[in-house]
Amino acid sequence: MRLVVSVVPVAIGWGMMLAGCDRIPLEQPAATDAVASWDGLYMTQCAGCHGADGVRGPARPLADPAYLATVSREDLIRVIARGQGTFMPAMGTVAGGTLADAEIERLVDGMRKVWGKEGAALATPWAGAPGSAQAGGAVYASFCQSCHGAPDGRSAGSAGSVTDANYLRLVSDQALRSAVLFGRRDLGGACNGPYDGQPRDRRLSAQDVADVVAFLASRRPESGRSTR
């Protein structure tokens, strides 16, 4: 009897252990897989600003087919690795960050594969020289003012001011251009960019985009500009 009392728990214990393990692992499972995958990298390195699903963060949404198709792969890699002179930090080891080149490439390829779409590119290029500020003023008045308010700040508009001096001090011309081009459709914004979905007569031409960016940039006070 005593022998049974002693042996049974041991047998049960061993049995439970062997049954519970579908394998006795011979190789240590590689714990780094989750981080090395592109979405793991995205969640640890990008989601803080660009949003958990690539949308609805304070920074530019990346789950945007038009954006991913219009900006070249090389440009995306360069911006991630070296930053933009804005709040987009240089993430690459080349510029003091923590991401290796291979990781950045995996990140970009993953985003383009999962969030991108063939043929979603805009006709207007992502980057371009600023146009005429004067012409841009007219574009602003007819396309932007109803939501973003008058440039003098008297009326704010439902979407908040984009001519606010402090806002303009914090954003680059390229960020303004991207905002005009791609809008914030993830937030339900009906912004009059040239992206698909706008009625053709409400779309901005490439020249309009360049002009309105020049107009906004001209409102930026030279002093007190934030440089990162």
Partner 1 sequence: MLRGLKAIIGWTEDRSGMIGVVTPIITHRVPRNAKWWYVFGSATLMFFCIQLVSGTLLATLYAPSAADAYQSLVYIDTQVPMGWMLRAIHGWSSNAMVLMVVVHMLQVFLHGAFKFPRELTWMVGVLLLFCTLALAFTGQIMRWDQDAYWGLGIGASIVDRVPVLGNQLRNIMLGGPYIGGATLSRFFALHVFVLPGLTIALVGLHLWLILRNGVSEMPKVGEPVVPATYRRDFEARTERTGVPFFPDAAQRDMVFCGLALIVVVGLAALYGPFGPNGNPDPTVIDANPRPDGAFLWIFAALALLPAQVETFLLLAAPPVIVLLLLAIPLISPRGERAPTRRPVSVLAMLLVCTALAALTWLGVTSPWSPVMDAWTSVPTPVRLVERLTPLQMQGALVMQYQQCRNCHAIDGTGGMRGPDLGDVGSRLSWDQLVRQVQQGGGNMPAYGKTLSAAETVAVVAFLQACRTDGQPPAFIPGALERAASGDLPPVAAPVAAPPAAP
Residues that bind partner 1 (CB under 8 A): 2, 6, 9-10, 13-14, 17, 20-21, 24-26, 28-29, 43-49, 51-52, 56-59, 87, 89, 148, 153, 156, 159-162, 164-167, 169-171, 179, 187-188, 221-226, 228
Q: Give the C-alpha separation, 76 to 79, whole Å.
A: 5
Shortest distance, position 20 Cβ to partner 1, whole Å = 8
Shortest distance, position 142 Cβ to partner 1, whole Å = 19
For residues 123 and 223, which CB has a smaller minimum distance to partner 1 in the complex?
223
For residues 79 and 171, which CB has a smaller minimum distance to partner 1 in the complex?
171
Q: Give the C-alpha separation, 27 to 170, whole Å.
A: 50
Q: Give the C-alpha separation, 151 to 115, whole Å.
A: 35
Shortest distance, position 147 Cβ to partner 1, whole Å = 11
For residues 120 and 170, which CB has a smaller minimum distance to partner 1 in the complex?
170
Shortest distance, position 1 Cβ to partner 1, whole Å = 12
For residues 160 and 197, which CB has a smaller minimum distance to partner 1 in the complex?
160
Shortest distance, position 136 Cβ to partner 1, whole Å = 17
For residues 83 and 136, which CB has a smaller minimum distance to partner 1 in the complex?
83
- Decide if 192 contacts 198 (C-beta within 8 A): yes
How far, CA to CA in Å, does 121 sit from each of 54, 77, 118, 185?
A: 18, 18, 8, 16
Q: Give the C-alpha separation, 5 to 1, whole Å.
A: 6
Q: Give the C-alpha separation, 101 to 103, whole Å.
A: 5
Shortest distance, position 123 Cβ to partner 1, whole Å = 25
Residue 208's closest CA among 135, 153, 159, 156?
A: 135
For residues 112 and 148, which CB has a smaller minimum distance to partner 1 in the complex?
148
How far, CA to CA in Å, does 37 sit from each of 42, 89, 92, 103?
A: 9, 21, 17, 9
Phi, psi of 99 (to 5 degrees): -90, 130
